[in-house]
A and B are shown apart, each in its own frame.
Chain A
Amino acid sequence: MLRLIVVRLAWFFPTILVTSMVLFLAVNVIPGSAAKAALGIDATPQAIARFEHELGLDRPLYVQYFEWLARVLQGDFGTSFQNRVPVGPEILARLPVTLELALLAFLIANLIAVPLGAFAAYYHQRPVDTVISAIATLFGAIPNFWMATLLILLLGMTLRWLPAGGYVPFAENPAMNLRLLLMPALSLGVVSSALLLRIMRAEMIEVLSSDYIRTAFAKGANPSVVIWKHALRNSLIPFLTVGAVEFGWLFGGVVIIEDIFLLPGLGSLVLVGIINRDYPVLLSSVLVITVVVLTLNLVVDILAAVLDPRQVHARSEQ
């Protein structure tokens, strides 16, 4: 157990380091000069040279990388090319928006997937199972941005139940904050629930056919206790690992969804960085999202090992 945690941690930091290197290199070979994007296409060569010199863009790439890395480790994400404001505070302000959206979406996905998956497994190969599985298949084929569009049309414009976009911080007005985030979270969550539901159902079918569950049923234990307590608990551990991956992927979806619902999160910052060729903004926002996702996977891997030590042995045998 301790070995697994140490090994995972030992891999974690080099992984982040390599990621930062790859991202830095990738962003620096982006065609189209940042200077032109910031100064306009009719900037003089002298102005461009001055701009690049001021920002240190005329030095060797590896020098730029290590300097950047050293600053990032101190929490300094550089200055935006576009409006010359520090990127760090911007990221810090936007991170909670994205985290809240992803968490809400994940919550919705699980609220759909866990009970429906468990029901489908209990009624395995009966009409209830067929209907639930069909719903999962349909959900899984809806692109999240079409789901967002349909929700805006239905809940926002036709029924006028929810506002179609905008953001208010939770601390300022919790009710309004949740109302504004509900549609974006639904757009991501409903689509994500499809995969989770399938996994939940498959795990639950396996657990329900195991000896101890059959014994529990045979001795006349209350079926709902057997299902919701014994079986569900044991299905949740493998489910957790898939859930973490899915949660990570939710962070990809936020780029589009934040754009659609005008949410000031990290995802929309990625787009701002790309459209303006604002490398510090693009680099920092992608890096922070990636680190959040990698950290999440690390935590879940360790958590899964703590909850079910058998997994450690199963893995070392692979």
Chain B
Amino acid sequence: MSGQSAVRPPLGWRRYRLLWIGGVLVALVCLAALFAPWVTPYSPYDLDVTDMLQAPSATHWLGTDEIGRDVLSRTVFAARISLQVGLVAVAVGLFGGLLIGVVAGYWGGILDLALMRAMELLFSFPAILLAIVLMAVLGTSILNAMVAIGIIFIPGFARLARVSTQKVLRQSYIDAARTIGMADARILQREILPNVMTPLLVEAMTAFAYAVILESSLSFLGLGAQPPEPSWGNMLSTGRGFMAQAPWLAIVPGAALFVGVLGFNLLGDGLRDFFDPRMKD
């Protein structure tokens, strides 16, 4: 035995610190969202006007808001909206981008040029501005926020899918597949897709973090999740009005948002190191 593998396990802490920290943070947020009704002390909607703007205490660990709702419960429940939006938006962006990128990369030519020009145009808009315009067009609802954010992600995934497809196309086993008469659909399914998915999944983590930021930005502006539905964005927005009396209203949801975004960012970086160790400097 070389001992090398015993000393350094495949997913060792020293080598994959980012993956571990990110994984734990993401797991924390996911568990909070999944088990929200069981881990929260109060309902996120129950108001109690006798208990308004209470500072953090033993009964309300993170205090209460302007109409006496428990801030901890609302913060935990808000993770649900963020994760839902992230999941749907990333799925929309991933599949839209995959389709466009693989088609452009595989068939090339004028189709490639037209598709990628359109993607570049979409990409040149500042993301939040595009999201705001899309929300104005689609109407304010959380479902529309998911779609709007998803559309914003399409160009990024499409570029990546196109480059990865072209990289695979240059391999000799593709020539071999063509020589033995394999159909395009089969080449795409068996050779291209599996090789394109890895970089896209890594990118999905970064996109997820960004989706969480965009959702809370839209909700902060009143264009995403609508009250009384708790979202980190709209909680922070309301909390801003009470910063002198109740600073925790603005600090707590922001901190939750920060932890979520940090988790997905680190998980993305960690996965990149894991799948492509050469990228690690």
Contact = CB atoms under 8 A, between A and B. Distances in A.
A216 interface: no
Interface stretch (A58-66, A68-76, A255-263, A306-314): A255-263
B75 interface: no
Contact of A143 (B117, B216, B265): B216
Contact of B266 (A30, A137, A146, A149): A137
A2 interface: no
A18 B265 CA distance: 34
Determine chain B's interface SS by DSSP, over half rule.
Answer: helix
Contact of A15 (B121, B137, B139): B121
Interface string A235-258: 000000000000011111101100
A27 B129 CA distance: 13
Interface in B129-172: 129-130, 132-137, 139
17 contacts: A18-B121, A22-B121, A31-B139, A124-B281, A137-B262, A142-B261, A143-B213, A143-B257, A149-B243, A149-B254, A249-B127, A252-B130, A255-B128, A256-B221, A274-B136, A274-B223, A293-B124
A245 B188 CA distance: 33
Nearest to B135: A274
A303 interface: no
Interface stretch (A86-94, A111-119, A172-180, A282-290): A282-290
B220 interface: yes
Nearest to A14: B117
A5 interface: no
Given A143-B254, A248-B126, A152 B243 contact: yes
B78 interface: no
A145 B236 contact: yes
A210 to B, nearest CB: 14
Determine chain A's interface SS by DSSP, over half rule. Answer: helix
Given A29-B137, A145-B236, A146-B258, 10 more contacts: A23-B133, A27-B136, A143-B217, A149-B243, A248-B124, A253-B128, A255-B129, A271-B132, A293-B125, A297-B124
Contacts of B127: 249, 252
Interface stretch (B43-51, B175-183, B189-197, B244-252): B244-252
A294 to B, nearest CB: 6
Given A153-B247, A249-B127, A297-B124, A145 B220 contact: yes
A270 interface: yes
A301 to B, nearest CB: 12
